Chains A and B, each alone.
Chain A
Amino acid sequence: GALVYQYPRRTICKSGTSMRMECQAVGFQATSVAWYRQSPQKTFELIALSTVNSAIKYEQNFTQEKFPISHPNLSFSSMTVLNAYLEDRGLYLCGARDNQAPLFGEGTRLSVL
């Protein structure tokens, strides 16, 4: 079956350091990949979206300089949180889709010390 795999599931980093997380679509070719963040006590916010034949589009309050995304193909995507601080804590979800509803991974939970 189709699923989205995220790695790592949990991670802790020191304030000011960077953390890379990965997302892989298994069993299907994703035409779009989206990264969301759920900060403590908040709902999910879209960070950025990449679709076939389009540049990665970042939402307001999120930048490529802070959250660079790499995707050699649309079945694999990685995102780095650069210079992480307390406000970057939360659950980072990757959502990928082909022609069906988006499938989400279980997320990478980031803690910042």
Chain B
Amino acid sequence: QQKVQQSPESLTVSEGAMASLNCTFSDGTSDNFRWYRQHSGKGLEMLVSIFSDGEKEEGRFTAHLNRASLHVSLHIREPQPSDSAVYLCAVSIGNMDYKLTFGTGTSLLVDP
């Protein structure tokens, strides 16, 4: 069964400093990776999706994928206090793309 772990559990950064979040997965056949965030009391907002090794940028959010290392990361450029939220990594496999396994989450706090 797929295991998805995120680190760190919580992260505090200053406004404008780069924030880096990590996600490891256990099933090497995984090929769909998405980063979501969840503001307090809200649902999920998708930030970026990536399906092949390398990087994918969506605005201030950049995902890096290294499938050989079973690792995907999210980097947030120039974070703002409004980016404070829980960030979730979600992994799925090919034709099971509709079945997402979520990570444990990283709680990000951006200090003004």
Interface residue ranges, A against B (CB under 8 Å): 6, 32, 34, 36, 43-46, 49, 51, 91, 93, 95, 97, 101-107, 109
Contact residues in A for B109 (Cβ distance below 8 Å) = none
With a 10 A CB-CB cut-off, give which of A34, A36, A101 has the most chain B CB atoms. A101
> Would A43 and B100 count as touching, CB distance under 8 A?
no
* Stretch of B10-18, B43-51, B64-72, B73-81 on the interface side: B43-51
B-side interface residues, number (CB < 8 Å) = 17
The 8 A-B residue pairs whose C-beta atoms are closest, nearest first, are A106-B43, A44-B102, A104-B44, A32-B98, A43-B102, A107-B43, A43-B104, A104-B43
Q: What residues on B are CB-neighbors of A101 within 8 Å? A: 34, 46, 49
B34 CB, min distance to chain A CBs, angstroms: 6
Find chain A residues with CB under 8 A from B102 CB: 36, 43-45
What are the residues of chain B within 8 A of A95 when measuring CB–CB? 98, 100
Give the distance to chain B from A35, nearest Cβ to Cβ, in Å: 12
Decide: A44 near B88, CB < 8 A? Known: A32-B98, A34-B99. Answer: yes
- Tell whether A49 pairs with B44 under 8 Å between CB atoms, given A43-B104, A101-B34, A101-B49: no
- Given contacts A43-B103, A43-B105, is CB(A102)–CB(B98) below 8 Å? yes
Shortest Cβ gap from A108 to chain B (Å): 10
